[in-house]
Amino acid sequence: MRKIKKTLLCGILLLASLAGSTQVKFGNNPTTINANSLLELESTNKGLLLPRVALTQTTLPSPLSANVQGMTVFNTATINDVAPGIYYNDGTKWLSVSSTSWSLTGNAGTTAGINFIGTTDSTDLVFKIKNIVSGWLNNPLLNTSFGFNSLQLTATGNDNAAFGTNALTSNTTGAQNTAIGAGSLQYSTTGYLNTATGALAMQYNIFGGLNTAYGTQCMQSNFSGTSNAAFGYSALNVNQDGNNNTAVGSLSMGANLHGSNNVAIGYQALQSNITGANNTALGYDAGSSLSSGDNNIVIGNNAQPSAPTISNEVTVGNASNNSYRIYAAGWTNASDRNLKHGIKELPIGLDFVMGLKPVEFIYNNARNEARALGFIAQDVQNDMVQNKMDKSYELVSNLDNKYLGLNTTELIPVLTKAIQEQQKIIEDQNRRIEKLEKLLMSK
């Protein structure tokens, strides 16, 4: 009996002590209590065990008699819409603690516009892989990136968009760039207003701006070139500082380094051009042999200039073309005196014309073996040598590396000169005949 009384007395004293205290601590170091805690638990090998109950449904308080806001339990049952886990009561129903956070294995029951991943303030949203930035949604600078090691948080340029591994990785102050594809605009630092779409597109661009590149490795080596447009695999691939070029077609202008103001449309068009400027090539493989010539126009499938370094030449078609048709009233050549210098009267005419050998022939690519009229370039060339014209005129020139061409238009002045010389001979003969006739009539 004495032990029972002693135990009751100790319990009463403990309750009195708890009732008079504002803080309670259980576990290790019971005399050291956090100043902000009402109840503190401390242990290195024990935990808090919540009441284990079998809930029946989130909308029912059972097994409790009523919903109590703040009530927390561990549910052990799997029934209706409850499963084992920690639940708390909001005063009207039970809520699973796991349902208030995003699960790493997927989520259900979300509502678009209400449930989301992100922030509710202006703080940036950042994604990382291996602690390396792999996504950045930025509000003040309006930058957006998604892809491992893409546009970094240190960038200060604005209105940039980067999608793909290493896209716009090195950008510092460059603004209004769009990079889509692994390695696109990877090393660009201050480049601006560029659009690069495709793996490695504009990869080594550093300062260039106002460029548009669509295609894998398109403009890959562009360093500082501006206002270029390239479309197709490896188009303008090694361009460094060429400006204002337009390349449309895989490998078009693929070797261009410094050439500017060129237009190449077609697979491999102007493929070998390195420094040539102001050239226009249209067609499959058109002008692909040109390397450094300027101001050339090359049109047609596999149409090629007469030489890799030629300038100011127009080429239409290839050796397989056998006729040319133009629906126009006439062909006009520039002929104004102000466009010419060193003007002299043509010194030769009839002697050269008499050496010409007009022939009829069939072109190897002629349709239906149709016969043509004209001259043989080699014959005209020999005639020019005989009349010492080969050093002064280019009636005959290289059409390409294999064949000769003849400028028949420039034969017209020679033929005209020949007619004039012949007419003078006729007039002189007429005068002599007239004198002879008068002499005979006087006898």
Q: What is the mean pLDDT of residues 145-169?
A: 96
Q: What is the mean pLDDT of residues 15-42?
A: 77
The Cα diameter of the chain in Å comes to 193
Q: What is the mean pLDDT of residues 272-285?
A: 98
State yes or no: pLDDT of 23 exceeds 50. yes
Residues in the chain: 443
Residue 341 in tokens? 């210098």
Residue 353 in tokens? 């014309």
Q: What is the mean pLDDT of residues 383-405?
A: 88
**Residue-level pLDDT at 1:** 46
Contact 206, 190 (CB under 8 A): yes
> Which residues form the domain of 81?
48-99
- Alpha-carbon Rg for the chain in angstroms: 46
Q: Which of 108-112, 154-158, 187-191 is predicted with the least confidence, judged by mean pLDDT?
A: 108-112
Domain termination residue (choose one: 81, 99, 117): 99
Number of H helices and E strands in the chain, helices first, is 4, 23
**Residue 398, beta-bridge partner list:** 404
State yes or no: pLDDT of 277 exceeds 60. yes
Task: Quote the mean pLDDT of the chain.
Answer: 90
Q: What is the mean pLDDT of residues 116-121?
A: 85
What is the distance between the alpha carbons of residues 195 and 213, in angstroms, rounded to a whole number? 6
Domain termination residue (choose one: 36, 70, 99): 99
All residues at 6 or more sequence positions from 32 whose CB lies less than 8 Å from its CB, including other chains? 25
Contact 249, 229 (CB under 8 A): no
Residue 87 lies in a domain: yes
Residue 69 lies in a domain: yes
Whose CA is closest to 124, among 101, 149, 150, 153? 153
Residue 208 lies in a domain: no
Residue 278 lies in a domain: no
Q: What is the mean pLDDT of residues 415-429?
A: 93
Whose CA is closest to 85, among 60, 55, 105? 55
Complete DSSP assignment for 281-347: EESTTTTTT-SS--S-EEESTT---SSTT--S-EEES-TT-------SS-------GGG--S-----
Residue 139 in tokens? 């509000």
**Residue-level pLDDT at 100:** 65
**Residue-level pLDDT at 178:** 98
CATH of the domain at 413: 1.10.10.10
**Residue 128, beta-bridge partner list:** 133
Express each pLDDT in 189-241 by its tens digit. Answer: 999 999 999 999 999 999 999 999 999 999 999 999 999 999 999 999 999 99
Whose CA is closest to 408, among 319, 340, 333? 333
Query: Is the model more confident about 2 or about 377?
Result: 377
**Residue-level pLDDT at 12:** 44
Structurally, the chain folds into a number of domains equal to 2
**Residue-level pLDDT at 13:** 45
Residue 297 lies in a domain: no
Alpha carbon separation from 181 to 58, 134, 198, 217, 240 (Å, rounded): 48, 14, 5, 10, 21
**Residue-level pLDDT at 147:** 97
Task: Compute φ and ψ for 416, nearest 5 degrees.
Answer: -65, -45
Alpha carbon separation from 300 to 286, 305, 306, 318 (Å, rounded): 6, 11, 14, 7
Residue 433 lies in a domain: yes
Domain termination residue (choose one: 73, 99, 125): 99
